[in-house]
Structure 1
Amino acid sequence: MDIATLVGVIVAIAGLVGGFTLDGGSITALLQPTAALIVFGGTIGATLTSSSLKTFLGVGKYLKISLFSKSVDFLDVIDQLVGLATIARREGILALEERIENFPDEFLKGGVRLVVDGVDPELVKSMMETELSYVEQRHEAGAKMFESAGGFAPTMGIIGTVMGLIHVLGNLSSVATLGPQIATAFTATLYGVASANVLWLPIANKLKERNAAEMLLREIMLEGVLSIQAGENPTILGQKLRAFLAPTARTAKGKTGAQNAEAAEA
């Protein structure tokens, strides 16, 4: 599990609620089912309208990706590619065929299979880049969906507040309850702005970070496969692939893919 995501959300909510209660506010005043229905129902509806049904139904998958990061060591992948290059130079490209099924990554497996099958290098590059492009598009769709939710939520909050004020101004007979009713109406704005900045937009950013890490990994694999096909020296290949990473990440073992991606972008 990505502790940063979970802890970040908890700290943000705790900070908001804690600050409100320390100032004398009551937590029960923040619990307004009507406002929640307007804001979250409206946000979900607007997000569904602006996204494809397939993307929207994948919301569970995207939440899982944001909460659970798959640990990937870039240097281990580079070492694996260097090992394959060594085998290819010593025993020939066909010697990789019996090792293809042992590859855990389908992208790498597909690339090596093309090389073993003797496909033209330009076609191998084109096919792998096309697959890479479509993977990136799918990942971006999820991030954009949460970005859309982050844009709609504050607007829905304002709409909920306006609706509440319309109700309040239409019943001015009881001046004593006017203040609490107005405060309740503004809860919708709180829900909209808070959900956008605590949940939807941070999740979108987390998905973008995951996408950046995976794209970097795939680019390293792509370059490695093409270099193996070209028969490059394994030592030179290792140096070339490490150039994708920042100097501080080229020798640091045990980092996750997301951490190495951050170092690479530094």
Structure 2
Amino acid sequence: MALIIGAIVVLACVLGGYVLHGGNLLVLWQPTEVLIIFGAALGSFVIANPPTIIKQVFQGIMRLLVGSPFNKAFYLDLLSLLYDIFDKSRKQGVMAIEEDIDNPEASQIFSRYPAVMKSSELLAFITDYLRIISSGNMAPHELEGMMESEIDSRHHELEEPAHAVNKIADALPGLGIVAAVLGIVITMNFLSEGPERIGLSVAAALVGTFLGIFMGYGFVGPTSIALEHSAKYEIKAYECVKAAVVATVSGQAPQMAIEFGRKALPTHKRPGFQELNDHVRSK
């Protein structure tokens, strides 16, 4: 939603100011310039990135349009899930959670939290480390180091779509110049047709430069930054899990373990202490 609102504000201010200054919107409609710039941008994007990154970029943009799933409600469910697992392990023994982590789809605990189940990578992260806990006596600092290494790797993966989009944003002004140069080349054919015809052709060429700069700095560049923020909110879920798991391995009670996890979340999306307690009881 923020992406749509921001785009409307950018268009309204730039085009509105242009019209108020006496500009003609029809002059800006140059389909061939659009074809050159955005066709070249799309082609270079495909050349530069593997299919997995291209797919992740479009998935990330769709997520920006509908809203990130990593919100306060998601974090509440995540912490409640961890509490239930830790509580069962503490009361019934570590071996009691083996069936839950081996087949989370059939687990009564995991099935209560469908939002977490939809995030397959995060779910695998949780079950992998719960499995490590149940199968051996790894020291807390060793477990923490292993988790940090995987989180760093995952963070890099999540930021790759943002970097790919940012590269296109950097290229768009240059592609706008390419379109403008081609327009000037075409204008050379009209030198004998009078100032009016030459002026229209030059204006069309300059629209290419405008579109490249406008789209690069007004839309594509900010979208790459939004994708980075989206990646950070997902990584915070991993850091929350890490903090809670390390705390429980260190001997903390389930209630205190999830408090460690809660403190790892961003403040504006972090549930309150009592809010989390009420949610855990309701589940």
Q: Tell me if both proteins adopt one fold, taking TM over 0.5 as the criterion.
A: yes
Deviation at 1:46, TM superposition (A): 2.6
Aligned in 2, Cα 1:119/1:201: closer, same or farther, shift over 3 Å? farther
- Please name the residue that 2:29 is paired with: 31
**Contact 1:84/1:228 (<8 A) preserved:** no
Aligned pairs, number: 252
Range with bigger deviation, 113-122 or 150-159: 113-122
Give the letter aligned to residue 251 of structure 1: G
Q: Please, what TM-score do these two structures have when normalized by structure 1? A: 0.82
The 2-side partners of 1:247 and 1:148 are apart by 31
Deviation at 1:236, TM superposition (A): 3.0
Matched, 1:14 2:15: no
Superposed CA RMSD in Å reads 2.6
Give the letter aligned to residue 214 of structure 1: E
Aligned in 2, Cα 1:89/1:56: closer, same or farther, shift over 3 Å? closer
Give the letter aligned to residue 272 of structure 2: T
**Higher RCO structure, 1 or 2 (CA under 8 Å, sep 6+):** 1
Percent of residue pairs bearing the same amino acid type: 25
1:153 is matched with which residue: 172, 182, 188? 172
- Please name the residue that 1:257 is paired with: none
Structure 1 unmatched runs, 5+: 255-266
Q: Deviations over 1:76-123 (max 9, x none)?
A: 423432343333222222222343314323322222233223363566
Deviation at 1:28, TM superposition (A): 1.7
1:138 is matched with which residue: 157, 169, 181? 157
- Please name the residue that 1:95 is paired with: 96
Q: For residues 50-69 of structure 1, what are the structure 2 equivalents within 5 Å?
A: 50-68=48-66, 69=68
Q: Please, what TM-score do these two structures have when normalized by structure 2? A: 0.78
Give the letter aligned to residue 78 of structure 1: L
Q: For residues 1-266 of structure 1, what are the structure 2 equivalents within 5 Å?
A: 3-68=1-66, 69-73=68-72, 74-100=75-101, 101=104, 102=107, 103=110, 104=117, 105-118=123-136, 120-121=138-139, 124-125=143-144, 128-174=147-193, 175-245=195-265, 249-251=270-272
Structure 2 unmatched runs, 5+: 111-116, 118-122, 277-283
Give the letter aligned to residue 154 of structure 1: P
Give the letter aligned to residue 250 of structure 2: A
The 1-side partners of 2:157 and 2:84 are apart by 31
